Chain A
Amino acid sequence: MAGRMRLPQGGFVAHDELLTFTFNGKTYKGLAGDTLASALLANGIHMVGRSFKYHRPRGIVSAGGEEPNALMQVGDDPRSEPNLKATQVELVDGLKAKSQNAWPSLEFDVGALNGLASRFLPAGFYYKTFMWPASAWMTYEHFIRRAAGLGVSPRQRDPDRYDKTFAHCDVLVVGGGPAGLAAALSAGRAGARVILAEQDHLLGGALLNTQGEVIDGQPARDWIAAAEAELAALPEVRVLKRTICYAAFDHNFFGLVESVTDHLPRPPENLPRKRLWKLRTKQVVYCAGAIERPLVFADNDRPGVMTASAVQSYVNRYALRPGRRAVVFTNNDSGYGAALDMKAAGIEVAAVVDARQVPAGPLTERATALGLRILGGFAIVAVEGARRVKRVRVAELSLDGKTVTGVPEAIDCDLVASSGGWNPTVHLFCQAKGKLRWDDEHACFLPDAAMQTGQQSAGAANGRFGLGSCLREGTEAGAAAAAACGFAPSDTAASQAEDRDFLPGRWIWLVPGEHPLGHKAKHFVDQQNDVTAADLKLALREGYRSIEHVKRYTTTGMATDQGKMGNVNAIGIVADEVGGHLPEVGVTTFRPPYTPVTFGVFAGRDVDNLLDPVRRTPMHAWHERNGALFEDVGQWRRAWYYPQHGEDMHAAVNREVKAVRDSLGILDATTLGKIDIQGPDAAEFLNRVYTNAWLKLGIGRCRYGLMLKEDGMVMDDGVTTRLGEKHYLMTTTTGNAAAVLGHLEDYLQTEWPDLQVYLTSVTEQFATMTLSGPSARRLLADVSDADLSPEALPHMAYTAAKVAGVPARIFRISFTGELSYEINVPASFGMAVWQTLTTAGERYGITPYGTEAMHVLRAEKGYIIVGQETDGSVTPHDLGMDWAVSKTKDFVGRRSLSREDMARPDRKQLVGLLTKDPKEVLPEGAQLVEKVLPQPPMPMLGHVTSSYHSPNCGRSIAMALVKGGLARKGETLFAPLGDGRTIACVVADTCVFFDPEGERLK
Chain B
Amino acid sequence: MIETYLRQSALDHLGLAGHSTAAPTEAGVQLSEKPLPVAVNLRGDSGDAAFVEAVREALGLALPTLPNTATTGEGLALLWLGPDEWLAMQHDAAAFAEAQLATKLRKALDGLHAAVTEMGESLCCLSLAGAQARAVLAKGCPLDLHPRAFGGSGHCAQSLLAKAAVTLLQVSDAPAFELYVRRSFADYLWRWLEDAAREYGVAVVRP
- Per-residue contact bits, chain B 76-106, to A (CB 8 Å; 1 contact, 0 not): 0000000000000000000010010000000
Q: Report Cα–Cα, A478/B117, bound state, in Å.
A: 51
Instruction: For the complex formed, measure the closest distance between the CB of A39 and the CB atoms of chain B, giving whole angstroms.
Output: 30
Chain A 596-634 interface mask (CB, 8 Å, partner B; 1/0):
000000000110011011111110110000000000000
Q: A362 to chain B: closest CB distance in Å?
A: 46
Name the distance in Å between B10's Cβ and chain A's nearest Cβ. 8
Q: Tell whether, in the assembled complex, residue B113 and residue A826 are in contact, meaning their CB atoms are under 8 Å apart.
A: no
- Asked if B122 is at the interface of the complex by the 8 Å CB criterion, the answer is yes
A163-B139, A605-B196, A620-B13 known; A636 and B184 CB under 8 Å? Answer: yes
In the complex, are the beta carbons of A764 and B122 less than 8 A apart? yes
Q: Which residues of B contact A163 (CB under 8 A)?
A: 139, 196, 199
* Separation of A825 and B48 alpha carbons in the complex (Å): 34
| B1-45 interface (Cβ within 8 A of A) | 1-2, 6-9, 12-13, 36, 41, 43
A680 at the interface (CB under 8 A from B): yes
- CB within 8 Å of A: which of B133-174? 135, 138-144, 146, 148-149, 162-164
Q: Which of B58-66, B67-75, B186-194 contacts A (4 or more CB under 8 A)?
A: B186-194
Point out the residues of chain B lying under 8 angstroms from A680, CB to CB.
Answer: 113
Q: Does B195 sit at the interface, judged by CB under 8 A?
A: yes
Residue numbers in B under 8 Å from A828 (CB-CB):
7-9, 36, 121
Cβ of A832 within 8 Å of any chain B Cβ, yes or no, is yes
Tell yes or no: B115 within 8 A of A by CB.
Answer: yes
**Residue B119 CB within 8 A of the other chain:** yes
Q: Least Cβ distance of B148 to chain A in Å?
A: 7
B185, A615: Cβ atoms under 8 Å?
yes
Known contacts A165-B139, A166-B141, A806-B2: A610-B115 contact under CB 8 Å: no
From A165, A614, A758, A832, contact of B138 by CB (8 A): A165
Chain A nearest CB from B45 CB (Å) reads 10
Distance in angstroms between the alpha carbons of A836 and B1 in the assembled complex? 10
User: Quick check: is B118 within 8 A (CB to CB) of the other chain?
Assistant: yes
Q: Of B117, B144, B148, which one neighbours A678 at CB under 8 angstroms?
A: B117
Given contacts A166-B138, A828-B7, A828-B36, contact A615 B41 (CB under 8 A): no
| Contacts A168-B144, A605-B195, A621-B13; A827 near B2 (Cβ below 8 A) | no
Chain B proximity of A826: nearest CB distance (Å): 4
Given contacts A678-B117, A764-B184, A828-B7, contact A612 B43 (CB under 8 A): no
Option from A612, A613, A621, A829 in Cβ contact (under 8 Å) with B2: A829
Q: Beyond A166-B138, A620-B13, is A280–B164 a contact (Cβ under 8 Å)?
A: no
A991 to B182 alpha-carbon distance, docked (Å): 38
The CA-CA distance from A62 to B196 in the complex, in Å, is 38
B122 touches A762 (CB 8 A): yes
The distance from the CB of B8 to the nearest CB of chain A, in whole angstroms, is 5
**Residues in A whose Cβ lies below 8 Å from that of B2:** 804-806, 829, 832-833, 836
Query: How many B residues have CB within 8 A of the partner chain?
Result: 50
Q: Are A613 and B195 in contact (CB under 8 A)?
A: no
A711-763 contacts to B, CB under 8 A, are: 756, 758, 760, 762-763
> Quick one: which of B1, B149, B183, B191 has the most chain A CB within 10 A?
B183
Please give, as numbers and ranges, the residues of chain B lying within 8 Å of A826 by CB-CB distance.
Answer: 7, 121
When distances are taken between beta carbons in the complex, the residues of chain B under 8 Å from A605 are 139, 192, 195-196
Cα(A271)–Cα(B149), bound, Å: 28
| A336: interface (CB < 8 Å) | no
What A residues does B114 contact at CB under 8 A? 758
Separation of A609 and B198 alpha carbons in the complex (Å): 16
- Let me know if B146 and A193 touch, CB within 8 A: yes
Q: In whole angstroms, what is the CA distance A676 to B117 when docked?
A: 8
Complex CA distance for A723 and B156, rounded to whole angstroms: 32
Q: Does B135 contact A613, Cβ atoms closer than 8 Å? A: no
Interface of A is mostly: mixed
A615 touches B115 (CB 8 A): no
Which residues of chain A are near B43, meaning CB under 8 Å? Answer: 678, 758, 760
In the bound complex, CA of A330 to CA of B201 (Å): 55
Given contacts A617-B184, A828-B7, contact A272 B199 (CB under 8 A): yes
Contact call B8/A615, Cβ cutoff below 8 A: no
The residue on B at minimum CB distance from A828 is: B7
Q: Is the CB of B198 within 8 A of A270?
A: yes
* Least CB distance, B138 to chain A, in whole angstroms: 5
Q: Are B41 and A827 in contact (CB under 8 A)?
A: no
Q: In the complex, what distance in Å separates the CA atom of A970 from the CA atom of B192?
A: 56
Write the chain B residue with the least CB distance to A756.
B113
- Is the beta-carbon distance between B144 and A829 smaller than 8 angstroms? no
Structural contact, B146 and A832, CB atoms closer than 8 A: no
- In the bound complex, CA of A762 to CA of B184 (Å): 12
| Chain A count of residues within 8 A CB distance of the other chain | 51
How distant is the Cα of A605 from the Cα of B199 in the complex, in angstroms?
13
Interchain CA distance A756-B111 in the complex, whole Å: 13
Chain B residue nearest to A806 (CB atoms) is B2
Q: Interface readout for A185-222 with B: 1 if CB under 8 Å, 0 if not?
A: 00000000100000000000000000000000000000
Q: Interface 1/0s, chain A 806-843, versus B by CB < 8 A?
A: 11000000000000000000111111110010000000
Q: Is A167 an interface residue (CB 8 A)?
A: yes
Closest chain-B Cβ to A357's Cβ sits at a distance in Å of 58
Cβ–Cβ contact B185 & A613, under 8 A: yes
Q: In the assembly, what is the distance between CA of A545 and CA of B9, in Å?
A: 68
A836 cross-chain contacts in B, Cβ below 8 A: 2
| A760/B115 contact (C-beta < 8 A), A271-B199, A617-B184, A805-B1 known | yes
Q: Chain A residues with Cβ under 8 A from B201's Cβ?
A: 270
A829 to B96, CA, bound (A): 12
In the complex, the answer to whether A616 meets B192 with C-beta atoms within 8 Å is no
A513 to B89, CA, bound (A): 81
Most buried by A among B8, B13, B187, B191: B8
Return B192 CB to nearest CB of chain A, in Å: 6
Q: For residue B141, which residues in chain A have a CB less than 8 angstroms away from its CB?
A: 166
- Within A130-169, which residues are at the interface with B (CB < 8 Å)? 163-168
In the complex, A764→B9 CA distance in Å? 13
**Residue from A271, A613, A830 within 8 A of B188 (CB atoms):** A613
Q: Which of B9, B96, B143, B195 has the most CB of A within 10 A?
A: B195
Q: Once the chains bind, are B184 and A829 in contact (CB under 8 Å)?
A: no
- Bound complex: CA A612 to CA B192 (Å): 10
Task: Name the A residues within 8 Å of B185 (CB-CB).
Answer: 613, 615
Nearest-neighbour CB distance to chain A for B125, whole angstroms, equals 13
A765 on interface, CB distance cutoff 8 Å: yes
- Tell me how far the C-beta of B17 lies from the nearest C-beta in chain A, rounded to whole angstroms: 16
A679 at the interface (CB under 8 A from B): yes
Does residue A524 face the partner (Cβ distance < 8 Å to B)? Answer: no
A616 to chain B, nearest CB (A): 5
A829 contacts across to B, CB distance below 8 A = 2, 6-7
Chain A residues with Cβ under 8 A from B96's Cβ? 807
With most chain B CB atoms within 10 A of its CB, the pick from A163, A271, A827 is: A827
List residues of chain B with CB under 8 Å of any chain A CB: 1-2, 6-9, 12-13, 36, 41, 43, 96, 99, 113-115, 117-119, 121-123, 135, 138-144, 146, 148-149, 162-164, 182-185, 187-189, 191-192, 195-196, 198-199, 201
27 contacts between A and B (CB under 8 A): A168-B144, A193-B146, A270-B198, A270-B199, A609-B191, A610-B192, A610-B195, A613-B162, A614-B187, A614-B188, A618-B183, A620-B13, A636-B184, A680-B113, A760-B115, A760-B119, A763-B182, A764-B182, A765-B119, A805-B1, A827-B183, A828-B36, A828-B121, A831-B6, A831-B12, A832-B7, A833-B2
Q: A163-B199, A164-B140, A678-B117 are in contact. List 11 more A-B contacts (CB 8 A).
A: A165-B135, A280-B142, A605-B196, A610-B162, A610-B188, A615-B184, A616-B184, A617-B184, A764-B184, A828-B8, A832-B8
Q: Which 5 A-B pairs have the closest CB atoms?
A: A764-B122, A615-B184, A758-B115, A168-B144, A832-B6
Chain A contacts to B: CB under 8 angstroms = 163-168, 193, 270-272, 278, 280, 605-606, 609-610, 612-618, 620-621, 636, 676, 678-680, 756, 758, 760, 762-766, 804-807, 826-833, 836
